Structure 1
Amino acid sequence: MPYRSLRSARLADQVSEQLKDSIFQGRYLTGERIPTEHKLVEIFGVSRVIVREAVRSLELAGLIEIKRGPKGGAFVLPMRHEAVSQVMIDLLKLGKASAAHILEVRLAIEPIVAELAAVRATSQDIALLAQAVQGMPIGPSEEYVAQNVNFHRLLARCSQNPMYDILVNILMDFTEDLILKIKPADRIIHDIESHAEIFEKVRQRDSAGTRQKMRSHLEDIMPIYMELEKSLRQDSGK
């Protein structure tokens, strides 16, 4: 794919966007090195300062990693969800998104993800899900939170769809800080049972049953999210 000639707009942004397009379109794969600074200067006909700024923006976006030394350079990183996730977390802190909004999106996505997991999960995936279910501790703790969200992350991975994997990971990052606020001990027991039921449907390759179990699980916690939202608004004086 030949690079386009640059317009009069900010040159570093244009160089950065074209390099992003090359990464997204697979011209440079994960682990591969993009052209050197000298080569990029030659390709785009801009100064080293412009190229360095463009490459730095790719690094800040989590798309590349800069390695020093004789074999160094700018190497493409695997696609990760953290950058987008942080934006969403910031929106929550600013009051632009709510706990109820999170669950609404989860209701739209996770039942489909669970259905796909029942169809596409490998034997290794099933084993990992079993470990996640069996390893759920009883009682509020950081370990409980980690195991709770890990179950949902694993289901997303089982869907074999990288977009669902990214979206669910973002939602779990968003949800993780909320769980202990809304999970008294009786709710934790219920979650453990619900996760076990969802897992069993996946193990049985019951796609429709898995989808329904996930939807029921999320609908069941909706009132708790609504109550949390009400409490958070009262605490903030809104």
Structure 2
Amino acid sequence: MAPTSGSPKVSFTGPQIGTPVRAPKTAELIAGHLRRQIVRGELQPGRTLPPEIQLMEQYGVSRPTLREAFRILEAEALISVRRGSRGGAQVIAPEVAVAARYVGLLLQIQGTTINDVYEARMITEPPCARLLVERHTEDDLAKLTEVVEQLKAEVHSSKPFVPDPDTWSRLTYRFHELILQGSGNKTLAIQGAVLADIVATHLRTKIARGYDDEPSERFQRVIRSFTKFIGIVKTGDAAAAEKHWLSHMEAAAQFLLKDDLKTKPVVDLFS
């Protein structure tokens, strides 16, 4: 009998009949069960899991199987295992750094350029600046101001000013990070955080190469731009904040991407 008009079409995209389907290993099932408990907050960071013998009885598995499950969770940075009589598996908080390393590897494998990374940031960060104005707290303003004060201290720390690549890249990226966090959008904040290592490494490379003009003046302009942004946030002008931050990032990109670093593959930064 032919289907009536409007009947939904059912498609099956899974394995075809006869195709072997690998059943999850017992260790993977145990790791999955513990992972869900950690993600849901049922197992809090800092808590030590029950002794191995107790878990072996609970899951009905051997010690090698349980330890394989532990290795899976260790690789995901969800637990830390200490061996010995006083050892055990302790829950640790998931870190953005774990995702950052993996995303960084994916970008490197695909031959992603630095320009590509900056383009993505310029698409996502200015709208976050707008959201920051609408959702910011006094604590957000205090943290942004603290970064500016630390940058000022760096500029005045030596005459002539010679920026330390590690310190300057860390502080300026912290300002970007605070905008993403202050936007209130956790997805965008984490997305920005996973690019931190790439962006900071690129900035360190650029600073280490030197400048075509007076470094003190260039870095003073960064501080003035950051200060202006904080002032805009205080006025509550969301549109102006978004416009200013886009302008700031475009100006920064002109400086940071004007030489061969623009087309430099991400992988070369870490080689």
- Could you tell me the TM-score, scaled by structure 1's length? 0.79
State the alpha-carbon separation in 2 of the partners of residues 73 and 160 from structure 1: 37
Which protein has the bigger helix share?
1
State the alpha-carbon separation in 2 of the partners of residues 76 and 208 from structure 1: 43
Q: Gaps spanning 5+ residues in structure 1: where? A: 1-6
Q: Which of the pair has more CA radius of gyration?
A: 2
Q: State yes or no: 1:31 paired with 2:62.
A: no
Count of aligned positions: 228
Say if 2:31 and 2:69, in contact at 8 Å, map to a contact too: yes
Select which of 220, 225, 236 maps to 2:257. Answer: 225
State the alpha-carbon separation in 1 of the partners of residues 137 and 55 from structure 2: 42
Name which of structure 1's ranges 149-158 and 34-43 shifts more when overlaid on structure 2: 34-43
Say if 1:80 and 1:166, in contact at 8 Å, map to a contact too: no
Residues 1:121 and 1:225: Cα distance change in structure 2 (over 3 Å):
same
The structural deviation recorded for 1:104 is: 1.9
State the alpha-carbon separation in 2 of the partners of residues 175 and 14 from structure 1: 37
**Counterpart position of 1:108:** 123
Residue correspondence of structure 1 range 42-121 to structure 2 within 5 A: 42-66=57-81, 73-91=88-106, 93-94=108-109, 96-121=111-136
Work out the percentage of aligned pairs sharing the same amino acid: 27
**Counterpart position of 2:6:** none
SS at match of 2:90: strand
Cα deviation code 1:22-49 (max 9, x no counterpart): 2223332333344443343234332221
Q: CA RMSD in A?
A: 2.9
State the alpha-carbon separation in 2 of the partners of residues 164 and 33 from structure 1: 32
Cα deviation code 1:110-153 (max 9, x no counterpart): 22332232233322221121110122133432322221112122
State the alpha-carbon separation in 2 of the partners of residues 8 and 45 from structure 1: 18
SS at match of 2:264: helix
**Counterpart position of 2:5:** none
Q: Which amino acid aligns with 2:198?
A: F
**Counterpart position of 1:205:** 236
